[in-house]
């Protein structure tokens, strides 16, 4: 069991707690704020609502959360310490000194600082090589990017362990071996922020109009391609070289005010606050957080389906988790064919629900289809077999909806074989939530040649594996509802 200590339970610290905890780590927290537990609890509520549904496999069992009265108690014997106190260099140095006086010498000590260099944090430290920058982005439990800044003063062994652990919890460590104030992402954000302040100050655009320019335009491109790849496309067949030749001269035009900052006078602050209130003041912060998380889940799931951008990080995590689960399930499923096989275990994501607030009809079919795919893998009809030109096609499906299923519900599907052999396979899926059957799916499939698209005999190995299930489950009572059809009205 991997353990972490989070020192400072604000927005970023709470996000780290959620990221660690929901990925199965035990987490210790120290924060002198008497309301820290409540604030972290609110972050966890948002994370539990959104993060499990980003993946199509179940996260590991949630770790244990403990609050401590001192830094020393919190950091004792943990694998990872994440410092997330206020952005004051003296406070961070004092906190890191207290951490190092009590933590293990081989523990990762990461700082969430958005601007300070590791060399600043390491000044006067007992073990400078243990301290590195691990700067995440809010919400930490959903966004995969974490800037890991490790100059030569950092211990290579601890750095490699940190990178491995971060990847294991679904994050993408952007590893920077040269340090600079503000790292990379915040320097880019700062440039846009300065320009935006000038646009408001000069009366060119309101806060809402600036946000529309980002979220309805280039922000969507950046979410899946970033900056340079987007401009490479803008260069056409000539690529980046053509783009720079065509648009490079514009960099000399006096558009930007990046080197100048508008003075945040009372008038400008009031104007920005007034426009922001008009734009978003009708919603509470929690409502905005939940809207943000719901939108992020939908975007991340869409990118995951394409294995691109931030979705590629999630897809890699999902493949690793699925592979670990499949190893155990393959042995269990093949060696014990007399029992229904666990073919699906996952959480219902936010975008699987409809206007009635429960899972859509199409998603029941998707869940049962995924369970069928899993059973096909168990008997040997895997990606390699399908690539050889053979597979199963579903010929008939009957689904019964027995109870409601809502976002965040943990689903399990167990599969029986009602019949099969040769070209035919007859499956029965039972979907359970909290132990109760909420839906059933009955599916009749035919083995086909992908070349002719016609029924064909399977391989001997697959036929043998399928018949083992048929024989082992033949004495089980017929499931309630099996063979049922919607008849004519009475």
Instruction: Answer positive or negative: Cα dihedral of 246, 308, 314, 346.
Output: positive
Say whether 239 counts as a known binding-site residue.
Answer: no
Superfamily of domain covering 336-473: Hotdog Thioesterase (3.10.129.10)
DSSP 236-250: GGGHHHHHHHHHGGG
Could you count the other beta carbons within 10 Å of the beta carbon of residue 458? 25
pLDDT tens string 297-339:
888 998 988 888 888 899 999 888 877 765 555 444 456 788 9
How many CB atoms within 10 Å of residue 106?
12
Q: Is 10 annotated as a binding residue?
A: yes
pLDDT in tens, 389-428: 999 999 999 999 999 999 999 999 999 999 999 999 999 9
Specify the CATH number of the domain 186-282: 1.10.1040.10
180 annotated as ligand-binding: no
Residue 117 zone, left/alpha/beta (φ > 0; ψ -120 to 50; rest): beta
Is residue 8 a known part of a binding site?
yes
| 405 labeled binding residue | no
Return the CA Rg of the chain. 27
Tally Cβ neighbours within 10 Å of residue 41.
Answer: 13
Q: What is the pTM of this model?
A: 0.84
Tell me how far apart the alpha carbons of residues 17 and 15 are, in angstroms, rounded to a whole number.
Answer: 5
Instruction: Look over the chain and give the mean of its residue pLDDT values, rounded to a whole number.
Output: 91
Band of pLDDT at residue 385, cut at 50, 70 and 90 = very high
Q: Say whether 9 counts as a known binding-site residue.
A: yes
Q: Give the model's pLDDT for residue 333.
A: 47
186-282 matches 3-183 in CATH topology: no
Indicate the fold that domain 3-183 takes in CATH. Answer: Rossmann fold (3.40.50)
Domain boundaries, the chain: 3-183, 186-282, 336-473
**Does residue 250 have a pLDDT over 80?**
no
pLDDT digits (tens, 9 = 90+) for 73-129: 999 999 999 999 999 999 999 999 999 999 999 999 999 999 999 999 999 999 999
Beta strands 424-433; 410-421: pairing state: antiparallel
Q: Tokens 């059809």: give the residue.
A: 485
* 444: β partners: 396, 426
* Strand locations in 422-463 (E): 424-433, 436-449, 454-455
């Amino acid at each position: 069991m991997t353990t972490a200590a989070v020192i400072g339970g604000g927005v970023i610290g709470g996000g780290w707690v959620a990221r660690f905890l929901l990925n199965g780590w035990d987490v210790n927290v120290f924060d002198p704020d008497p309301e820290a537990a409540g604030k972290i609890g609110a972050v966890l509520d948002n994370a539990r609502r959104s993060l499990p549904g980003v993946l199509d496999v179940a996260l590991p069992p949630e770790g244990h959360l403990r609050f401590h009265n001192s830094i020393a108690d919190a950091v004792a014997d943990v694998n990872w310490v994440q410092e997330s106190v206020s952005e004051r260099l003296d406070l961070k140095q004092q906190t890191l000194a207290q951490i190092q006086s009590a933590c293990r010498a081989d523990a990762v000590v990461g700082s969430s600082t958005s601007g300070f260099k590791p060399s600043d944090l390491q000044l006067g430290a007992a073990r400078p090589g243990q301290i590195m920058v691990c700067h995440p982005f809010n919400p930490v439990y959903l966004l995969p990017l974490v800037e890991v800044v490790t100059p030569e003063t950092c211990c290579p062994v601890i750095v490699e362990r940190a990178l491995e652990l971060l990847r294991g919890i679904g994050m993408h460590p952007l590893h920077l071996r040269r340090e600079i104030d503000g790292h990379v992402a915040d320097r880019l954000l700062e440039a846009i922020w300065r320009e935006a302040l000038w646009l408001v100050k000069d009366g060119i655009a309101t806060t809402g109009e600036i946000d529309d320019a980002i979220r309805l335009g280039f922000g969507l491109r950046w979410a899946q391609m970033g900056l340079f790849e987007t401009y490479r496309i803008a260069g056409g067949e000539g690529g980046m070289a053509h783009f720079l030749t065509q648009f490079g001269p514009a960099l000399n035009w006096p558009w930007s005010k990046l080197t100048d900052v508008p003075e945040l006078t009372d008038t400008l602050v009031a104007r920005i606050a007034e426009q922001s209130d008009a734009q978003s003041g009708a919603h509470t912060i929690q409502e905005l957080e939940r809207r943000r998380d719901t939108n992020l889940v939908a975007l991340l799931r869409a990118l995951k389906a394409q294995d691109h951008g931030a979705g590629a990080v999630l897809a890699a995590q999902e493949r690793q988790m699925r592979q670990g689960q499949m190893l155990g399930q393959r042995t269990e499923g093949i060696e014990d064919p007399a029992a229904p096989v666990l073919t699906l275990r996952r959480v219902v994501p936010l975008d699987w629900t409809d206007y009635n607030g429960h899972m859509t009809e199409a998603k029941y079919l998707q869940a049962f289809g995924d369970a069928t795919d899993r059973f096909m893998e168990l008997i040997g009809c895997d990606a390699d077999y399908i690539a050889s030109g053979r597979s199963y096609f579903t010929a008939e499906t009957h689904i019964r909806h027995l109870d409601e299923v809502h976002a965040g519900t943990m689903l399990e599907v167990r599969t029986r074989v009602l019949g099969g052999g040769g070209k035919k396979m007859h499956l029965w899926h039972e979907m359970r939530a909290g132990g109760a059957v909420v839906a059933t799916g009955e599916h009749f499939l035919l083995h086909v040649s992908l070349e002719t698209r016609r029924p064909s005999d399977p391989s001997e190995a697959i036929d043998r594996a399928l018949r083992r299930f048929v024989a082992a489950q033949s004495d089980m009572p017929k499931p309630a509802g099996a063979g049922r059809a919607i008849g004519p009205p009475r």
